[in-house]
Structure 1
Amino acid sequence: MRIILMLMVSLLLSTQVSAKRISGLWNPTQRIITGTVYDESGLGLPGVTVKIEGSQRGAVTNSDGKYTIQSNNDSEILVFSFIGYLSQKITVGEKKVIDVKLLPDPKKELEEVAVVAFGVQKKESVIGSITTVKPGDLKIPSSNLTTSLAGRVAGMIAYQRSGEPGRDNADFFIRGITTFGNNTKPLILIDAIELSTTDLARLQPDDIATFSIMKDATATALYGARGANGVILVTTKQGVAGKAKISFRAESSASTSTSDVKFADPVTYMKLANEAISTRDPLGTLLYTDEKIANTLAGKNPLVYPANDWRKLLFKDYAINQRYNLSVSGGGTVARYFVSGAYNKDNGVLKVDNKNNFNNNIDLKSYTLRSNVNIDLTKSTELIVRLSGNFDDYNGPLEGGEEMYRRVVRSNPVLFPAYYPADDQNRFVKHIMFGNYGKDNAYLNPYVDLVRGYKDESRSQMLAQFEVKQGLDAILKGLSVRSMVNLTRTASFGYRRGYDPFYYQLAGYDSITDKYQISKINENGTEYLGFEQGGKDLRSTFDTQSMLNYNAAFGAKHSVSGLLVFITRESLNANAGDLQQSLPFRNLGLSGRATYAFDRRYFAEFNFGYNGSERFSQSKRYGFFPSAGMAWSVSNERFFEPLKKVITNLRFRYTYGLVGNDQIGDERDRFFYLSNVDLNNNDRGARFGRDLDEFRPGVQIRRYANNEITWEVSKKQNIAMELSLFGKANLILEYYTENRDKILMDRSAIPSNVGLSAVPKANLGKAKGNGIDLSLDMQHSWNKDMWISVRGNMTYAKSKFVAFEEPNYPEFYRSRIGQSIRQEYGYIAERLFIDDNDALNSPKQEFVGKYGGGDIKYLDVNGDGKVNEADKVPIGSPTVPEIIYGFGFSFSYKKFDISAFAQGSSNQSFWIDQGATSPFNNQTQLLKAYADSHWSEDNRNIYAIWPRLSPTLNANNNNQSTWFMRNGAFLRLKQVELGYTFSKKFLERIRVSNFRLYASGTNLFILSKFKMWDAEMSGNGLGYPIQKVFNLGLNITFN
């Protein structure tokens, strides 16, 4: 680091000396004009042509958007032009620094600049596979940015499994999953700093300048050891020279569940609970008497004959949420700024008992602050200071919102009421008298778990980033250096406050007078809130980046660029659990890029990453990961001129390269080349002495040293075609292949009689993936008052095992080789047994427990006359969808606009959790779907949804099989928005530059063959539902 700083100082000094020498040669009437050209988001625009009007003198902006040009007099006019943007003319006057902001040309908006690794490039020169998302498309009424990704990005597989505030992060993978190693998540970079999924979730769409997905080796190679799973690259807005611009956005929304699991009514529950006993044991004692069933049906005293709708008791119909965002940007010729703040408040749908004086509902408050300041220290030196922080305060029930929904499923609706109200007998009782049953109050009362306390969790993160850009045109035109340091601090803590409940049960009842008595079950309850310390965590990360960049054009047709980057990263965890975790986590890397373009027709690029990882032995510590690519812009060829009116752009791209991954194995196995020996293992200890009263712990080897463990390597290949028709329809089609090698896995083939106490690991695994990314967008404008745009994309990502150490199965179908990485195995369920004779005359099913008529009949795949592990086969589609797609439109007429977007998923299977939904087992509720369709003596439906009822979990029916497998495909109307923008005349009267009102809805409806719950939740349908949101908002700008 000291060497880098010395280099920076020497470069700054040499630049100043060179500038003074050169300035002495100029004619006094001449002047050097410098400046920066920005796009609408405040990012520097590379490749902008800057000319003196009426002369041949000109310049081109570098990778940071900076330029230098000679002016001969004050009256000369600078012309700034760039494809896809409105040209701008500025008179030189007495100015020496002229910064310009170019705005997109609405008639030619082609998104001509793309953000790439460690910089930006003209879109026409980009060879790697990069998908860019407009920040406006990420603005949905949610405090979680990740919930907006599904179906909007070609090449990304994304889905959401929960709707609980603060716990609703979407899962997402770039081009699917092509490894069965420990880490499958993409690298997330926000302003070039590696951050987590939660950090991305808390990022405000109003703060985003660019959002890019980097998919192939050429796009990700510069990230070396971390880019194998793809990269999400986000940059935040910067200030643009000009008077202050103030933007304010406010939203208020109501959220409700998209779908709720439906339960059978209490009377049906009792009748079928009795049936579950009698159908399995005709002599068994029935749980519910005819009197209890009849009185419950008649609606008699609900404290004696309870009929609890636990869901209604615990949850509200909707929650109200708010979101506010304020930003200020502007600046002068020396300094520019962008400052923003946001506040989001998300509430859960859990009810609060007014008998308590605290809030047990989910209440998530999120605060975000950001300050980006650019300062021109000299004509060639720029300092960028980025400060940001996000803070979460979470309040919720002790068990969490997700668990509360699950506890409703596990709660008997007729055994006891939620609580008994105070009466004359108990008028001096100060606590809530919760219902339960039996001496040990062993039954679940979900209402107790909701209201008996709450937990608070706080998380804060602060980043401080300092970056210096130094132009070195005085040494070599187009040469520049950049150095950046960043410090990230993340802290979290929590605590729990709650009381121990008092439980009561029915002690007597007089049906004539309708009087009842209750008795206390337990004496160990409390009437005060106790305290329990929660988890604490503190992490600190220090990043450095140093870059040398070169851009040049030779003649009218040749252009080259080069980039060299050195990065380091060090992390410390204050809550280290052992010696290994207490040591700093360190990574370093050297990366480079070289590009060449000829006549805007032929493009070539070479990238490399040379990375070091602490996790491997010295002989394996460093990895070299190169990539190369080329592109051909056919539409820029002379022979293509006759077709240009129809085919305005035709371009082909090809890339191939290697990307590494050191995020393998468990984090606890940090240093694979060192053994891990536990010298105080009680399980391996021994007792001795006359009375065996002496004990000494034993020794256990938890990991054997392995100097051969090394990088997981991904070989990526990408072929792409870009096509534009009439300048209105744009199609991008990409086909890719990926081969993963050296995947870390356990050595399962080593026999147990070798005597090893820990399972060795080795880089033996191999996997393969391939797929297609497709995106299409079209625009049409009838006149200045009416236009429409239509867009769509599709991602198909398939994977399979190529090498996997596993037992040598006699049955070929049990092997994972050739199967999808997320493929599930199980039994093929043919049907339900018609009766006991049918079961006796079928292949024996070798499972624990009895089975007979109405239970699941499995296929004897290998034909050996019995059903066991040897009959498990690959069933269904993978658990991660192979196809994700989305499509939508935006339409504007005068001051009104409307947009809609739909998202879909396909080629995915999931399983209903038959154990968690098994009715009556441990007092579990009865799902209405099971009540309506189950096998019984009176209805021997061999294709009913649920087999023969049972009061306990039936082992035969609890196997993973096709019986409880469901198709996870769905199509969802993700968002609809209607807006109105006020006219300029009205805005001038109220001194506002822009004012827009809008109403929107999210997750409005879903089309799916599966009806029991929201299909996107897959097997997590018993948890906190995904939310349907109705939203009102306004956006106002002062300038």
Structure 2
Amino acid sequence: MINTKQVFLKGVVCFFLLTLWSTVVVSQTRTAKGIVVDDTGDPLPGATVQVAGSTRGVITDGDGNFEMSNVATGTKLQASFIGMENEIIEFRGKELIVVLKPKANELDEVTIVAFGKQKKESVISAVTTVKPSELKVPSSNLTTALAGRIAGLISYQRTGEPGQDNAEFFVRGVTTFGTGRTNPLILIDGVEMTNDDLARLTVDDIASFSIMKDANATALYGARGANGVILVSTKEGKEGKVRIQFRAEGSYSAPTETLDFADPVTYMRLHNEAIRTRDPMASLMYSSEKILNTEKGLYPMRYPAIDWQKMLFNDHTTNSRYNLNMSGGGGVARYYIAASYSRDNGIIKMDKRNNFNNNISINRYVLRSNVNIDLTKTTEAIVRLHGAFDDYSGPLDGGTDLYKKAMNSNPALFHPYYPTDYANRGARHILFGNYDMGGYLNPYSEMVKGFKTNDRTDMLAQFELKQHLDFITKGLSVRGLFNVNRYSFLELRQSYNPFFYELMNSDNLEDYTLYVLNPNGGRETLDLISTDKRLTSTMYFESALQYNRQFNKKHDVSGLLVYTIRESLNGSPDDLQASLPNRNLGLAGRLTYGYDSRYFVEANFGYNGSERFAKEERFGFFPSIGGGWIVTNESFMEPLTSTISKLKLKATYGLVGNDDIGDSKTRFFYLAKVNVSDSDRSYTFGNNWGNSTGSGVSISRYADPNITWEISKKTNLGLELTLKNSLELQVDWFREGRSKIMQTRADIPTTMGLQAHPSANIGKAHGSGVDVSLDYNKSFGKDLWIIFRGNFTYASSKYDIYEEPDYSDVPWRSHTGQKISQQWGYVAERLFLDDEEVKNSPIQFGKYGAGDIKYKDIDGDGVINENDQVPIGFPTTPEINYGFGISAGYKHFDFSCFFQGSARSAFWINPEQTAPFVNRSDEEVDRSLWDFTTNRALLQYWADDHWSESDRNIYAIWPRLSPTIVENNQKRSTWFMRDGAFLRLKTAEIGYSLPTRWIKHAKMQSARVYVNGSNLMIFSVFKMWDPEMAGNGLAYPLQRVFNLGLNVEF
């Protein structure tokens, strides 16, 4: 029988125990609250916070806050967010702050190398990688961002004309001469491209940008790698939700420097002085009345005072750039799609009376699609599509041509154009000004009389297939790539013939009559005057077998074997040879071994074939070898690793080649080039009553089966040092010996009767130098960070063997032992003080006298001639390039600035092109001036400091003035040699990232506004024009740019 009392008591006890247990449990569970932020302290909306090992979790709100109920003390919570490393934190009952760090980018852990990737620690080649963000400058031309940014790269820009403003760049200087290629090989997504393709590449599309400098890095490219390699890869999609990024920029640009011309009154006075000082009995060009009335500004129609530079050019222009990209994907397919548009305008003025635009205007459209598809668990396909389209409109002969024409125009002779007078009231054309039968140069009419347009299209399609072969052996894979590239260009040039008028019968009331100077030569309608069409296509195939495996956690082994075929075809050839396809074959390999992350050995080879050479010289073998040692991974370094985070030593040696010698018309050196119907060598048979004429035979090239590629032997010694994980230093010393440089023979006697000058691989040169890069980054809490970057490159090269005449009697004329791109000229001592000194000095050139340049008689023979030319100044290619900058951020603000400099280079101011008052000579290089009579403008520098009878300054900048060319003063000499060194504030930027709480309602992940500029300041002893333009100062000037931008991400 059940005892009711006992049952009741047991029930009370159980209830009490259950209640007590529940109280204890409740007392150990709470609501977990907190915030999830990134490593800069910004909240992460949409982050996931869940109990570790379960599916229970919550999502952070727009401010990164989260709240999860019934979480027991001690529970492990895991926070995650796309692109961030997961973080596990223990809940202890207090409010949590969870900091998520970005996932280590694969590109930060590996280095892009030839035909693949390598772990950073195992790379022993001289490879410098620059982050794409550092290449973002307010320009549509990527090459303008390279100067001073990358150790080992020598770069400069000679013109700022849109569409023509590509920078020139060389990897570790220039160590070849003659007709060989000097610029590096450019590869974008593994395919050879041109400087123009690199210039038009959108920075937002770049995933990695590397410069490969030594033989070990470029040996796989064999006969095409001697000048270094620029390797660029574009972005690919990543697994995750769709990410959309949009960037918009608008910029204001103006010349960094403009030419300073003398005013018309000074021009006329000094023009008269030039006439008088050379011939006191000659008639003067300008009357006192004309000069005085021009100075007073009276009767401007009769006494013109024209600033041709202001007439032709605006003081600024505006440009714009837009980029939109989208990326994402799932477990099977990932994509990156981008579209960009830019508009670049020139500073050339337009005449509204014309119905066309003669200013430079470039509209550029770029589309890119990269899609990765996992066909199986071991098979991946990559499809890359790219299209770039340029629409160009501009002046007939370009912007630089207009600047040169402004330099060749008289400011006081006639107006650019005249208002319509009564007699010409029915004219339907512009009444352009001119003088003396209309033969003078009117740069305004040259600017507005026509225009040219061109359309340029680049299309690329690439398919890549990767297959893992782990079923054969672990780490084995095979890859194939096929690429087709097609380029087309179509240009149309349209123009009318201007009608020129001269002012006649002008009185002081400004009544005048215009007389047409070419009534039958003008034309009012636009006509098509020329066309140009080009079409090229390139096919490229690459197959690779790769092996990568680790044994016993200490032995890392990798191998690579690559076979390549490249064929390009010119669809618009101008001769038979140019119509034949260019073909290259290559087999390359790499073998690497690493032991315990301490010792590394690497061997590479390239075996290449080129159709340019004879069968016996068609293939070449280019090997390299290198080794590396990470000292800090040794056990004896452990006590120092808190200070010395990394110390790595490396060395490489190898051979590479350069088969890009000659030009498209001299491709097949082993074949003679014979013209069997040369009309210039015609002959006549018969007598005066019955003769016949036949064409003769000429030889423009003799067959030479021995010509082959240049050979470069390169050595590199490097050091990588990191201190306290903050300061990184890389130093590389390099030396290169270049042989088999093709030269035109100089020691073939004319008595042999050869019609053409033979060439041979006889030249030799060597170069050496050092490149250094320094990086420092430091965070101070979560709100403040700072980064400093600097690099320095010194590269010098010299001739070892240079075939030339025998200069044993005048050894200073010999190239051997001198620097490549060294200039030769005369040593200018000073200006002649008077005619008596002229009589007692060595004989010089032509007719000269007091105030003209006096040269040094180097050989002491009493005559100044070519035997008195010596090396003068530094080489034209800078031997030193450097850059340094700082970036800093505080909370939502960021700031950066970057300086770029160049040193140990010189250039020559061409005295013929800048000689005032003179007409162009028949030797004028610029043939666009040949049809005109010109009076060169007067630079203010020459006006302010020239020799004169009243001021016989023998060290004046400009010699005695002259209305004609003075042969003696036009020689290349130290008088017009200038130091090309400069330091430039290349870029500066201030940005502000909007707080998440401001943009969360717009579904934005981030938003940043910024203001930046480029070419902001320059420091140089040379003031006439921007020294980076060197001797090209009369060209379209470099531009100073101010830019406003917005970057948002969804």
Q: So what's the TM-score if we normalise by structure 1?
A: 0.89
Matches within 5 A, 1:247-286: 247-286=245-284
How much has 1:689 moved relative to structure 2? Answer: 3.8
Letter in 1 for 2:184: P
| Structure 1 position 87, deviation (Å) | 4.9
> Which letter does structure 2 place at the counterpart of 1:195?
M
Please name the residue that 1:216 is paired with: 214
Alpha carbons 2:302, 2:510 under 8 Å: kept:
no
Aligned-residue offset at 1:800: 0.3
Deviation for aligned residue 1:843: 1.4
> Alpha-carbon deviation of 1:532?
2.3
Deviation string for 1:144-180 (max 9, x for gaps)?
A: 0000000001000000000010010000000000000
Residue type of the alignment partner of 1:823: Q
Contact 1:323–1:345 (CA under 8 A) maintained in structure 2: yes
Does 2:961 align with 1:985? no
Question: Post-superposition shift, 1:515?
Answer: 1.6
Q: Is the 8 A contact 1:207 1:237 kept in 2?
A: yes
Aligned residue in 1 for 2:29: none
- Name 2:15's counterpart in structure 1: none
Match for residue 512 of structure 2 among 510, 516, 520: 516
* 1:449 is aligned to 2:446: yes
1:589 maps to what in 2? 586
Find the residue that maps to 1:985 and give its secondary structure: helix
Q: Is the 8 A contact 2:85 2:102 kept in 1?
A: no
SS in structure 2 opposite 1:866?
coil
CA distance in 2, matches of 1:811, 1:112: 57
2:726 alignment partner AA: K
Of the candidates 776, 794, 802, which is equivalent to residue 792 of structure 2?
A: 794
What residue is the counterpart of 2:71 in the other structure? none
Alignment partners' CA distance in 2, 1:103 and 1:129: 30
Range 860-869 or range 723-732, more displaced: 860-869
Structure 1 residues 521 and 689, CA gap change in structure 2 (3 angstroms): farther
Give the one of 933, 943, 947 matched to 2:945.
Answer: 933
Q: Does 1:835 align with 2:831?
A: no
- CA distance in 2 between counterparts of 1:1000 and 1:428 reads 51
1:533 is displaced (CA, Å) by 3.0
Output aligned runs, 1:515-554, within 5 Å: 515-523=511-519, 524-554=521-551
1:785 to 783, 800, 813: 783
**The residue matched to 2:946 in structure 1 has which SS?**
coil
Please name the residue that 1:903 is paired with.
Answer: 900
Partner Cα distance (1:665, 1:531) in 2: 35
* Alignment match, 1:418: 416
State whether residues 219 and 623 of structure 2, in contact with CA within 8 Å, keep that contact through their aligned partners in structure 1: yes
Alignment of 1:133-532 (within 5 A): 133-181=130-178, 182-439=180-437, 441-511=438-508, 513-523=509-519, 524-532=521-529
Superposition pairs for residues 21-60 of structure 1, below 5 Å?
none
Give the fraction of aligned pairs with identical amino acids, expressed as a percent.
Answer: 57
1:120 aligns with 2:117: yes
**Which of the numbers 1016, 1036, 1039 marks the counterpart of 1:1024?**
1036
Equivalent position of 2:817 in the other structure: 818
Shift of 1:104: 4.8
The answer as to whether partners of 2:421 and 2:512 remain within 8 angstroms in 1 is no
User: Offset of 1:86 from its aligned partner?
Assistant: 6.7
Contact 1:389–1:462 (CA under 8 A) maintained in structure 2:
yes
Write the distance in 2 (CA, Å) between the matches of 1:739 and 1:262.
45
Contact 1:399 1:449 in 2 (8 A): no
Q: Indicate conservation of the 8 Å contact 2:421/2:514, yes or no.
A: no
User: Where does structure 1 lack aligned partners over 5 or more consecutive residues?
Assistant: 1-52, 55-76, 91-101
Query: 2: distance between equivalents of 1:774 and 1:428?
Result: 70
Question: Partner letter of residue 311 of structure 1?
Answer: Q
Q: Once the two structures are superposed, what CA deviation does each residue of 1:65-103 show, in whole Å capped at 9, x if it has no partner?
A: xxxxxxxxxxxx9x999xxx975589xxxxxxxxxxx97
Q: Equivalent residue of 1:844, what SS?
A: coil
1-structure distance, mates of 2:85, 2:602: 30
Residue 514 of structure 1 and its aligned partner are, at CA, apart by: 3.1
1:1033, 1:561 → 2: CA distance? 45
**Match among 645, 657, 661 for residue 648 of structure 1:** 645
Go from structure 1 to structure 2 and tell me whether the alpha carbon gap of 1:80 and 1:767 turns closer, same or farther (over 3 Å shift): farther
- C-alpha distance in structure 2 between counterparts of 1:280 and 1:931, whole Å: 17
Equivalent AA in structure 1 for residue 717 of structure 2: I
In 1, the alpha carbon distance for the partners of 2:1024 and 2:944 equals 12
C-alpha distance in 2, partners of 1:873/1:109?
Answer: 54
Give the greater-gyration-radius structure (CA). Answer: 2
User: Which residue of structure 2 lines up, in the alignment, with residue 880 of structure 1?
Assistant: 877
Separation (CA, whole Å) in 2 of partners of 1:682 and 1:364: 44
Which of 849, 852, 855 is 1:855 aligned to? Answer: 852
Measured against aligned partners, the alpha-carbon deviations of 1:567-608 in whole angstroms (never above 9, x if no partner) come to 000011011122211111100000000000001100000000
Mapping of residues 689-838 of structure 1, within 5 Å: 689-691=686-688, 694-809=692-807, 810-838=809-837
Q: Answer yes or no: is the 8 Å Cα contact 2:484–2:540 preserved in 1.
A: yes
The 1-side partners of 2:849 and 2:810 are apart by: 28
Paired with 2:499 and 2:651, the residues of 1 have a C-alpha distance of 70
Deviation of 1:690 (Å): 3.3
CA distance in 1, matches of 2:870, 2:621: 40
Q: Secondary structure at the match of 2:222?
A: helix
Question: What is the RMSD computed on CA atoms of the aligned residues?
Answer: 1.8
Aligned position for 1:563: 560
Cα shift at 1:693: 6.4
Contact 1:999–1:1032 (8 Å) recurs in 2: yes
Aligned-partner residue type, residue 852 of structure 2:
D
The secondary structure found in structure 2 opposite 1:163 is coil
Partner SS for 2:666: coil
Runs of 5+ unmatched residues, structure 2: 1-51, 54-75, 89-99, 920-934
When residues 655 and 86 of structure 1 are mapped into structure 2, their CA distance, relative to the original with a 3 A threshold, is: farther
CA deviations over 1:809-852 (Å, ceiling 9, x no partner): 1211110001111000000000000011111111111x2x2111
**Alpha carbons 1:826, 1:875 under 8 Å: kept:** yes
Aligned partner of 2:992: which letter? Y
Q: Per the alignment, do residues 580 and 618 of structure 1 end up closer, same or farther by CA in structure 2, a change over 3 Å counting?
A: same
Q: Which amino acid aligns with 1:256?
A: A
Aligned length: 945
Q: Distance in 2 between matches of 1:670 and 1:262?
A: 46
Which deviations, in whole Å up to 9, do the C-alpha atoms of 1:530-561 show, x marking residues without a partner? Answer: 11232110001000000000001010211100
1:650-696, Cα deviation, whole Å (9 max, x unpaired): 00010000001111123211111111101121221123443486332
**Cα shift at 1:424:** 2.5
Pair 689,80 (structure 1): closer, same or farther in 2 beyond 3 Å: farther
Secondary structure of the residue aligned to 1:162 is coil
TM-score, L = length of structure 2: 0.89
Per-residue CA deviations over 1:955-976 (Å, capped at 9, x if unaligned) read 0000000000000000000000
What's the secondary structure of 1:172's corresponding residue? strand
SS state at 1:540 partner: strand
Q: Give the Cα separation in 1 of the matches to 2:994 and 2:337.
A: 26
Report the CA distance between 1:423 and its aligned residue. Answer: 2.8
SS at structure 2 position matched to 1:279: helix
| Paired position in structure 2 for 1:1010 | 1022
**Given the superposition, is the C-alpha separation of residues 619 and 89 from structure 1 closer, same or farther in structure 2, using an over 3 Å criterion?**
farther
2:812 is aligned with what amino acid?
Answer: Y
- How many Å separate the matches in 1 of 2:107 and 2:747? 56
Distance 1:88 1:218, change over 3 A: farther
Tell me what 2:61 maps to: none
CA distance in 2, matches of 1:963, 1:861: 16
